[in-house]
């Protein structure tokens, strides 16, 4: 049950049931951030009024996204949140990332190189720590499945070749693609990225499976190790500033 301060009790008598009934008929896009967070908290706390808690969380973190991305230990410092509820709140992003990866894998087809970069961007877009994915592809270049091979702290992920071998065997993949992100950093590969790619390529090809590429998504763009080049460039604050200054100069 959501814990309330003494002065918050009975503030919204019957509020929970009214809100659940009304929110179930409305798209989340039509709700305020506080209402969206309240709706999420209904699943964390089966009973009780979560309205005051939603206010406290938004007051501390500023947005629903920041609440869901928060460290569980920090969430526990908010009145009304314990270790269990903190883990459940943070679990929503894990569920969403799993759903996104599964949904992409069911429908995606690599018809051209840009399709690969689109897929990698979509897969890694919501991750705020470094994550390494393996992507299994069938002979007709449809994505069979994706698997997280490792997660890190913004700079390091663990590479387990045994896990890659198991993934190839389980999916019967004809080709394998690796992708990972550099959250808050540039997409250029590190020496470890390059050496790790060589090892995986050797292992995968020894198993009779084609290695497609290792794609790195950074805040500045997308890098293909197979092509040894940045394939996409994202606009940065500096780019926007330079563009704005060039427009002003022309005027």
Asked whether residue 82 falls in the same domain as residue 27, the answer is yes
Q: Choose among 131, 118, 117: nearest CA to 181.
A: 131
What pLDDT sits at residue 23?
A: 75
Residue 244 in any domain: the answer is no
Q: Give the residue from 44, 65, 95 where a domain finishes.
A: 95
Asked whether residue 220 falls in the same domain as residue 149, the answer is yes
Asked whether residue 116 falls in the same domain as residue 91, the answer is no
**What is the DSSP secondary-structure string of 165-219?**
HHHHHHHT-SEEEEEEEETTS-SSPPHHHHHHHHHHHHHHHHTT-EEEEEEEEES
**What is the DSSP secondary-structure string of 204-237?**
HHHTT-EEEEEEEEESSEEEETTTTEEEEE---H
Asked whether residue 128 falls in the same domain as residue 64, the answer is no
Asked whether residue 169 falls in the same domain as residue 211, the answer is yes
**Alpha-carbon span 232 to 217, nearest angstrom:** 9
Q: Give the residue from 36, 65, 95 where a domain finishes.
A: 95
Asked whether residue 203 falls in the same domain as residue 115, the answer is yes
Q: Are residues 222 and 187 in contact, defined by beta-carbon separation less than 8 angstroms?
A: yes
pLDDT in tens, the chain (251 residues): 455 455 444 444 466 777 777 777 777 777 888 888 988 898 899 888 888 899 999 888 888 888 888 888 889 999 999 999 999 998 888 787 777 766 666 568 898 999 999 999 988 887 888 889 999 999 999 998 888 888 775 445 567 788 899 999 988 999 999 999 998 889 999 998 999 999 999 999 999 999 999 999 998 999 999 999 999 998 655 554 554 454 455 54
Asked whether residue 149 falls in the same domain as residue 84, the answer is no
Asked whether residue 134 falls in the same domain as residue 225, the answer is yes
Distances (CA, A) of 169 to 146, 164, 174: 13, 9, 10
Asked whether residue 72 falls in the same domain as residue 190, the answer is no
For helices 33-44 and 83-107, the axis angle rounded to 10 degrees is 100
**Alpha-carbon span 200 to 193, nearest angstrom:** 11
Q: Give the residue from 95, 116, 147 where a domain finishes.
A: 95
Residue 131 in any domain: the answer is yes
What pLDDT sits at residue 151?
A: 79
Residue 100 in any domain: the answer is no
Asked whether residue 135 falls in the same domain as residue 222, the answer is yes
Domain count for the chain: 2
Residue 153 in any domain: the answer is yes
CATH number for the domain that contains residue 188: 3.40.140.10
Residue 13 in any domain: the answer is yes
The range of the structural domain enclosing residue 142 comes to 108-238
Asked whether residue 116 falls in the same domain as residue 232, the answer is yes
Asked whether residue 112 falls in the same domain as residue 204, the answer is yes
Residue 40 in any domain: the answer is yes
**Alpha-carbon span 19 to 33, nearest angstrom:** 14
Residue 102 in any domain: the answer is no
What pLDDT sits at residue 14?
A: 66
Residue 246 in any domain: the answer is no
């Amino acid at each position: 049950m959501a814990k309330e301060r003494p002065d918050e009790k009975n503030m919204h008598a019957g509020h929970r049931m009214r809100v659940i009934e009304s929110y179930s008929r409305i798209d989340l896009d039509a709700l305020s951030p506080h209402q969206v967070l309240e709706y999420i908290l209904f699943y964390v706390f089966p009973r009780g009024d979560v309205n005051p808690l939603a206010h406290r969380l938004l007051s501390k973190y500023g947005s629903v996204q920041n609440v869901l991305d928060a460290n569980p230990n920090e969430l526990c410092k908010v009145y009304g949140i314990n270790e269990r509820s903190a883990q459940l709140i943070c679990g929503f992003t894990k569920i969403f990332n799993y759903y996104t990866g599964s949904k992409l894998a069911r429908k995606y087809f690599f018809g051209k190189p840009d399709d690969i970069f689109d897929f990698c961007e979509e897969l890694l877009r919501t991750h705020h720590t470094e994550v390494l994915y393996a992507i299994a592809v069938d002979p007709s270049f449809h994505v069979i499945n994706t698997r997280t091979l490792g997660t890190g702290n913004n700079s390091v992920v663990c590479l387990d070749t045994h896990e890659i071998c198991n993934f190839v065997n389980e999916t019967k993949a004809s080709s394998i693609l690796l992708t990972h992100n550099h959250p808050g950093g540039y997409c250029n590969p590190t020496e470890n990225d390059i050496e790790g790619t060589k090892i995986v390529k050797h292992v995968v090809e020894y198993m009779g499976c084609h290695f497609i590429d290792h794609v790195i998504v950074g805040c500045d763009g997308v890098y293909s190790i197979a092509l040894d080049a940045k394939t996409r460039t994202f606009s940065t604050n500096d780019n926007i500033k330079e563009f704005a200054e060039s427009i002003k100069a022309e005027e």
